[in-house]
Chains A and B, each alone.
Chain A
Amino acid sequence: MLERLRRQDTRLDDYIDRYAARAHGMTASAIRALFAVANRPEVVSLAGGMPNITDLPLDVVGSALNDLVQHDGRRAMQYGSGQGEPVIREAICEVMRLEEIAAHPDDVMVTVGSQQGLDLLTRIFCNPGDVVLCEAPSYVGALGVFRSYQCDVVHVAMDDQGLNPGALTEAIEALRAVGRTVKFLYTIPSYHNPAGVTQPLDRRIEVLRVAEQADLLVVEDNPYGLLGFDGEPIPPLRSLSEHHVIYLGSFSKTFAPGFRVGWVLAPHAVREKLVLAQEAATLCPPVFSQFAVAAYLANHDWRGQIKIFREMYRERRDAMIAGLTSHMPAGTTWTQPEGGFFVWLSLPPGIDSHAMLPRAVTARVAYVPGTAFYADGLGSRHMRLSYCFPTPERIIEGTRRLGEVLEYEARMLEIFGTAVEPESGRLDLGPREAPGPDQA
């Protein structure tokens, strides 16, 4: 048989030589593949960041959608404005007023989730090789956007009070001293993803002072701002500075992510560019979704619904903290989130969250290794735990399983000594190490 065969010489991708350089990092990842197992019911997944919409009144939403189709269907299913429909931009301003942001609908542009806002902002501001400053750690989806535009992410230290203004000053000065172009700071001051911390007001004022002094633009991402559990919400950066802050908002956590409606609030000139970029990307954000969200806001007690969500997430946060307190081995520490979805766990020295994930999956518990939230290979001594989706009982069971895995890891460490790789050893993992958006 062998003599007769014509040799195939193939890389199993006929398009391989045509891709842009920015596609080169888009590869399969063994860690990401493990999250396929995490979605099985046997596994307690503390990995995904999927909002929990169990409490959403589907009858109200259904009725609003029915009315929309019946009475305004032709408009809702037609192309719309690149900037977004006036009705939703007005509603967005009302939502932002809850957080003391005064804005005019003209300054709002609707996006396909705030993720698209981030994409369009990076598109209009960043050339390949430009620097974007991010907290250490930072939102994995943002790192993915910055990488796709070939930006260099430089992480700035944070602590339990969020981004450190002193570290920010040092980073700006050091980068500019070597001639680097720093385009903006990307930050999540409230209920940080993944760190689960919130920046107090004085820190926010200080960060803004540093940014203004350095003439640095700030991109504030605030998807969880209305989901605080304790005390009064802290004013967003945008409420403190109109000119240096571009604000990203979203209905994904306060209503439902499936509509994919988010927004950017930006100074007029930036907004003009964003609208043109939006038209080039999508012609217009989905009109039906915008009308649907507007109808929900108009016909339902959405403020009351946010309170329901808040209580539901608070109960889960409490379960997570109780579970961690009961089951984590000595030397493990974690943040105490006052809102949002996530806890950031720091492991005893020598234990590597990236290396131990397969064993955790075998033990039927999943988390996201800290390496997913760094663009520079750091983070292996940390992990992100989500409490947003599982029930409180499952969360506690998940922490119990995780505790057992960590005990096993400690034994491995005892046997093999410093068996883990150095923290800077795995460059460029980032977004390939986190579950996709469809994973709970």
Chain B
Amino acid sequence: MADNGYLSTVIVLSGGLSHERDVSLRSGRRVSQALRSRGYEVVESDVDSSLLARLAELTGSVAFPVLHGEAGEDGALREVFDLLGVPFVGSVGSACRVAFDKSIATTVVGASGIRTPTQVALPYETFRELGAQVLVKALGDQVGFPMMVKPSRCGSALGCSKVTRADELPAAMVGAYAYGSVAVIEEFVEGTEVTVAVVDRGHGPIALPAVEIRPESGVYDYTARYTAGATRFLCPAEVEHDVANRCADVALRVHAALGLRDLSRTDLILTSEGEPVFLEVNVSPGMTETSAVPLAIETAGWSLGKMCADLVQAAAARGGKARTISLAAR
């Protein structure tokens, strides 16, 4: 029996077929362990053709998706949960769809008055149709160097490059397109890298203390993210109180502007003037041993188990959405 005696089974979903499967499996194990420590019965599940049957068997349970990358963060699976009336932790599918795509999320967040980098989003077909040479030159002129090139729909810094010269841009574009058909090319914002988690444990969203990220190599790439010891984290970030409050405020506004629910993590760059600039938001932030959110939770004096348990309880209390197909009828 779980610690509040209300619900006992949670299906923690991790893995999937995205490029971030390995990270997701690690996050899933940690969340499962945290929930078990609070007395929950946890069923760890991959996302495959047996998932729906498993959900049908476990009627009344709550799904906790800890999936990173496509099919986990793009909202598709959450739409399925709603369709089937399965209560789940996290944002609804429509909000995820917007938040997961960097080009769309940046536009929405920018429209809410938060500073965002100058950004251009281009599918690879555009280069094919219009010619790369002209477009590469235009990007250099418009965005300027250095610039960041990223896949529009991917996480863990996969396919991301910092480009300092025009002749590096084609390789960076190819690198980004390896992870998806649309790339974003954006202004490189110099400053301090921080990330802020927002959690709603049933009483409204709260920003956790900002985590400042200082990769030893200077680049917070995949290796720096998932090799213990490769990055120095400071939590709360080593910034003035008013700057820290500004970061928290921006993260809460991002959470609200995108219509997110339960949990999100907003990545920011703090300029030398202490202004937070939005980089991206994660609807299913990493929960691995080297991830920032568990560190922020610990710094806030919470436990990961208690926080996950509260999110599960909130999801259970919400219940599944009204639906036309019920699991019981399957």
Contacts and interface: CB of A to CB of B under 8 A. Distances in A.
Is A bound to B? yes
Given A27-B227, A30-B158, A419 B173 contact: yes
A172 B220 CA distance: 41
B29 to A, nearest CB: 13
B300 interface: yes
Nearest to A417: B170
Given A9-B234, A12-B233, A34 B19 contact: yes
Interface residues of B, number: 55
B178 A356 contact: yes
B124 interface: yes
Given A7-B234, A10-B232, A16-B229, A2 B178 contact: no
Nearest to B46: A40
Interface string A1-33: 111011111111101100000000001111001
Interface string B212-247: 000010000111011111111111101001001100
Nearest to B237: A7
B193 to A, nearest CB: 15
A144 B144 CA distance: 41
Question: Interface on chain B toward A: helix, strand, loop, or mixed SS?
Answer: mixed
Nearest to B126: A415
Nearest to B131: A415
Given A30-B156, A33-B22, A10 B233 contact: yes
A36 interface: yes
Given A8-B235, A28-B225, A2 B245 contact: yes
A34 B15 CA distance: 12
Given A28-B226, A36-B25, A361-B19, A416 B175 contact: no
A33 to B, nearest CB: 4
Contact of B236 (A5, A11, A37, A352): A5
A400 B19 CA distance: 21
A7 B173 contact: no
B289 A12 contact: yes
Given A13-B228, A412-B177, A419-B171, A5 B300 contact: yes
A357 B290 CA distance: 25
Contacts of B124: 412, 415
Contact of A358 (B178, B232, B289, B299): B178
A30 B223 contact: yes
A411 B236 contact: no
B17 interface: yes
B231 A11 contact: yes
A359 interface: yes
A7 to B, nearest CB: 6
A124 interface: no
Contacts of B20: 33
A411 B22 CA distance: 30
Contacts of A30: 156, 158, 221-223
Contact of B298 (A8, A36, A419, A420): A8
A40 B17 contact: yes
Range of interface residues on chain A?
Answer: 35 or more
B233 A8 contact: yes
A359 B230 contact: no
Contacts of A27: 223, 227, 230
A42 interface: yes
B132 A8 contact: no
Contacts of B228: 11-13, 16
Interface string A350-378: 00100111110110000000000000000
Interface in B1-35: 15, 17-23, 25
Contact of B174 (A11, A361, A412): A412
B178 A11 contact: no
Nearest to B172: A419
B128 interface: yes
A393 interface: no
Contacts of B301: 5
B179 interface: yes
B174 A355 contact: yes
A137 to B, nearest CB: 22
Contact of A37 (B19, B128, B156, B222): B19
Contacts of B72: none
Contact of A420 (B22, B48, B171, B245): B171
B227 A2 contact: no
Interface centre among A12, A13, A40 (most CB of B within 10 A): A12
Nearest to A43: B17
Contacts of B158: 30, 358
A327 to B, nearest CB: 20
B241 A28 contact: no
A418 B23 contact: no
Contacts of B230: 11, 27-28
A67 interface: no
A28 B17 contact: no
A108 B206 CA distance: 66
Nearest to A414: B128
A362 B248 CA distance: 36
B295 interface: yes
B209 interface: yes
Ordered nearest first, which 5 A-B pairs have the shortest CB separation? A13-B229, A16-B229, A13-B228, A28-B226, A36-B22
22 contacts: A1-B206, A1-B209, A5-B209, A7-B235, A10-B295, A11-B230, A11-B231, A11-B232, A12-B295, A16-B229, A30-B223, A36-B15, A36-B25, A37-B18, A358-B178, A362-B179, A412-B177, A415-B128, A415-B132, A416-B171, A417-B132, A419-B171
Given A11-B228, A29-B223, 15 more contacts: A1-B209, A2-B241, A2-B248, A6-B299, A7-B299, A8-B233, A10-B235, A11-B216, A27-B227, A28-B230, A30-B158, A36-B21, A40-B48, A357-B178, A359-B178
